[in-house]
Structure 1
Amino acid sequence: MTTFGLETAQISRLASAVVSRHDAVLDDAGAAEIFARASWTGIAEPGDGVAGVLVSHIGAPRALTALIEGWKPDRLGAVLIEAGGDSVSSRDLSLALDRWRPRLVSNAAISALRQAALVSSRLLLPDDPLWPQGFADLGVHAPLALWLRGVNDAVGSLGTSIALVGARAATGYGEHMAMEFGAGLSDRRICVVSGAAYGIDGMVHRAALASGGLTVAFLAGGVDRFYPSGHDALLQRISTVGAVMSELPCGSPPTKWRFLQRNRLIAASSRATVVIEAGHRSGSLNTAAHASSVGRPLGAVPGPVTSPSSAGCHRLIREFDATCVTTVDEVVELAGGLLGDSPTELDLPYAGEGDRLPPEQLRVLDALSVRAARTSIDIARRAGIATTTAEGVLGMLQLDGLATENDSGWRKTK
């Protein structure tokens, strides 16, 4: 007997190794659901709205079967409408199929599941009691599944958690405030959420751990390859007493685009988001924008008016109605919903190379290497877009001097 062209018994073994609930009785349908969800985390890039509509209305197994069997956009659209799903244009379905098919490799899902089992990672599905309820506010852009390393108590506490984020290039003042807030919230038995980056994020996690509190780190790559590498020991500790989570399968590298998408999970999973320290174009402002877009209270810590490292926080307070917070009590008050019912949506940039590029150009740039030449087909697969789209974007990047082509393929120029 086969499922998705593979032996059903093999799929059952792979799924059983990563099932989230150890008391769950896994039948063939349950195993197919786990395998399909695991596959979709590698086929579609984080936040893919078309994949979200498809999976939520016709189910992950049927959606994967449609992809394997090469259904045409019209057939897929008809099935989607019949299932009561939102109408998706034939053009959008066609583009989606073109960007998914290069990643339709059965060995990829099998390898991810095997690697997950090796590092004791579990796959959390949306129907699991531990699934963060805040993700519902992301709509069709919610994660299709979550890869998890950690304890259930930490995941279960996300509903009453607070996200603390900030710049990588933190000052002594910023690190002090991160320790104060991380430890203070932990003392009040409030889970602290962040992104495990250098600077503010790392200090927040360390403070929570030192206080014996719960902390959750969301990664922009697979949970089997902790990033940044300098925080390997920290993330190992978090995965032991807290939780490390990602919507990407094991083996997935972090990219700029995935960091941007990861930030929406930090914001949506928490009751409120506080930016502790941020420059004028800090990446943490992107998390603030996500928090605003899903209606979460937003706070910012003021700093010296002469400090460029606090310019982003001052901008949030001045231009985007963020609440000024200076103590742990004020942070807790913020999470109580006292900010108001209609927070201002933010449209702030992500700091770093390529921050002003359109999403598709940013993803293609992420897929390029300075040293190794890559074909347009390989670049499309890495970027999660159609090959024809990748070729067009590569031409634009070449005109902008960001990419160059030779007989071997394409390279990033810097």
Structure 2
Amino acid sequence: MNDPRTVAPEPDHRASAAARLVAPVFHRMLDRIDRALKMGAIEATLPDGTRRLLGGRAAGPVAVVDLRRWRALVRLATGGSVGWYDAWAAGDWDSPDAVPLFALFMANRVALGHSARSGGLAKLAARAWHRLRRNDRAGARRNIAAHYDLGNDFYSQWLDAGLTYSSAIFAEANEPLETAQDRKIAAVLARTGARPGDTILEIGCGWGSFAAAAAAEGNEVHAITLSAEQKAAIEAKALRGVTVALTDYRDVKDRYDAVVSIEMVEAVGQRYWPDFLDMVARVLKPGGRAAIQFITIADDVFPAYASSVDFIQRYVFPGGMLLSESRFRASAEARGLAWRDPHHFGLDYAETLRRWRVAFEAAVAEGRLPARFDERFVRLWRYYLMYCEGGFRGGGIDVVQVTLTEY
């Protein structure tokens, strides 16, 4: 190696003879990653015992990575983000804090190109699997159950008291999460322009935090979900002014003064965006408003993202898909829905995820998670929360609130 930023191994390094033999091949792979890092850096310890700095040319996230086996790079190259998770789960790499690494990948997403996307046969197999999880009526219910029906006794251990599983809006760094969640709910309700006595359809109602707040203001809320666990939780609260039903959004027939959807559209999928927006346009009464909160991925990587399967789709949220804001907006406008007052607050989501991760780790440490969840599950969710937080901090993932009205 002639890279001046590579530190030679100590005499008692851990590398085997085989590892030293194949090391030059993998160093060339690292060379490509190094050249693609336009901002931020990776401080890596490698299986051949060397320590190497990748990037470091401009300010940005700084990640510390212990690459224990070269196999991790093979998995990254062939499996993208799915392979990189598999490598982490197998102990092929580790980090004292993986959030900066995921932020770094996202911040350099264009230059890195397909480094975090599966390719070849792995990509074809992943896409075939993903097609089996499409969000038709039967598939949508299975996909929602796979994520949201993990159990109310699970989510209640690390979400806030209202069980709000979507981004908060913070006014200051140290305020309680519950306060920031209340602010988000109030912002969504304000977008509807609803007055006491108005009817609101909430599509994907979670555990009822928005419905409770809207009903407290005198609105009648019809909440729909595909999660049996969420429906049971809302029914147990016996909220006055709130009805809840296991209903697919495509089957809504009545008309409403307002429609609300908070981070539900990610479960729809690009193929069904027109169906979702047709429904919104159909059920809104004249002069009504829809308030939508949704998660986006940058247009500069959306085509590659949409044609592959990422870690979250494979292991956490089958059938899920982030939105291209420009494409979703165009689809809304094609259905006569005007796009009003978009508000982006991705860093608030990063902070929300950080708070969730702290609470999740406390629940793990105190043994409060249900016994049915083993260590493998815990590690998967730990990785998921870090992965998402890093995506928002890296700037390629965002969260948006928008109001839709008739032209």
Q: TM-score with structure 2 length normalisation? A: 0.28
**Structure with max Cα Rg:** 2
Q: With a CA cutoff of 8 Å and minimum separation of 6, indicate the structure with the bigger relative contact order.
A: 2
TM-score by length of 1: 0.28
Q: Larger strand proportion, structure 1 or 2? A: 2
